[in-house]
Amino acid sequence: MRGAGVFKWHVMVFLVAGLLMWILWYMGVNLHGTGEESNQKFPWPVWPTLIWLMVLWIHYKAVYAGKNKK
């Protein structure tokens, strides 16, 4: 059960950190004008979110892959 607990903690950290990244990006775009700068046209939190989701998927498979097999 330790693996499942660590995975759930990993998901919670992902949600909080992801939310903070998106809030920072949103505030940066709205506080600094229309986002004309090249780093504000595209939402940069997309990349860390996608990479972290892939890591979460690997973590999920590592924890729960053998649970249903008998």
Give this prediction's pTM.
0.76
- Tens of each residue's pLDDT in the chain, 70 residues: 588 899 999 999 999 999 999 998 888 876 665 555 545 567 889 999 999 999 999 999 999 987 765 5
Alpha carbon 56 to chain centroid distance? 9
Q: Which amino acid is at 55?
A: V
Where do the structural domains in the chain lie, given as residue ranges?
12-38
Residue ranges of alpha helices (H) inside the chain are: 2-31, 38-41, 46-64
> pLDDT value at position 42?
79
